[in-house]
Structure 1
Amino acid sequence: MYLRLAAAALFVALPAFAQDLATGDAIRAAIADKTVQGSMIESGAYTEFYAADGTIRGDGYTGTWTVENDQMCFNYGEGASCWSVRLSGDSVTWVKDGKDDGSGTLIPGNVNDF
């Protein structure tokens, strides 16, 4: 009985977290043709422009972005890495393995002319 209650409580809690994460369509709509300025836990500060054609432009480098299985994937020539995304207004949080891994602010256009 207690096991069933615990399993039911876990099942009820899971959708709340899942709803917190953006869908692929929401990610595309929020990110395409925007500059994101922020910081990642491991690599520090970043500023990148995400063109609608899937190109990433940064200061002296390029890459590509795609959305796969409700995650945003980045490829800078060494294979793709993917993050779940939490969106709130003009803020984005990158989520890896269920933990916040970085964040940024969405700014319309290529404000740095990358």
Structure 2
Amino acid sequence: MIIFPKTTFALALACVLASPLAAQDEAIDTLTGDEVTAAIAGSTLLVTVMGGDQFREYFAPDGSITMTGNYGAYDGTWWIEDDTICMELVFPSNDDCWSVALEGDAITLIGADGRIDYEKKIITRSDPATE
């Protein structure tokens, strides 16, 4: 049996309590539906997924989404429901709603279970087709 000094145990416990899993229990301030629309409508977001692949999402003011990345271009729709953003994507097939937190240009999508589902970044507040 290994016996650790009290200071080592206290340091290990402090690291666990400061971990992202513990921090996720803290409440995150989320935007209202109007604030989500103001932040996202007309913006292009950069999304990095596991493995490092990146794609861009353009959220048109008319409620359409265009995604472009390594795998081609895909379309979908977005809308505000209560104080959440909802998206229906053709590929990958997805239809869900999330609460939104915004800090600077960093957008966090939070699922109904309170977990962080996606982190995105606003890279431009314009239509990439007109740039």
Q: Does TM, scored on the shorter chain, surpass 0.5?
A: yes
Shift of the alpha carbon at 1:46?
3.1
Query: Normalising to structure 2: TM-score of the pair?
Result: 0.64
Q: Counterpart of 1:26? A: 35
Q: Is the 8 A contact 1:35 1:110 kept in 2?
A: yes
Q: Distance in 1 between matches of 2:94 and 2:58?
A: 19
Contact map agreement 1:40 1:103 (CA 8 A) in 2: no
Count of aligned pairs? 95
Structure index of larger Rg: 2
2: CA distance between counterparts of 1:27 and 1:40?
22
Which one of the candidate residues 67, 75, 79 is aligned to 2:88?
75
What is the 5 A alignment of 1:24-103? 24-39=33-48, 45-59=54-68, 60-77=73-90, 78=93, 80-96=95-111, 97-103=113-119
Change in Cα spacing, 1:46 to 1:95, as seen in structure 2 (3 Å) is farther
Q: TM-score, normalised by structure 1?
A: 0.73
Q: List structure 1 runs of 4+ shifted beyond 6 angstroms.
A: none
Cα RMSD, aligned residues only: 2.1
Pair 51,37 (structure 1): closer, same or farther in 2 beyond 3 Å:
same
Q: Which runs of 5+ in 1 are unaligned?
A: 1-15
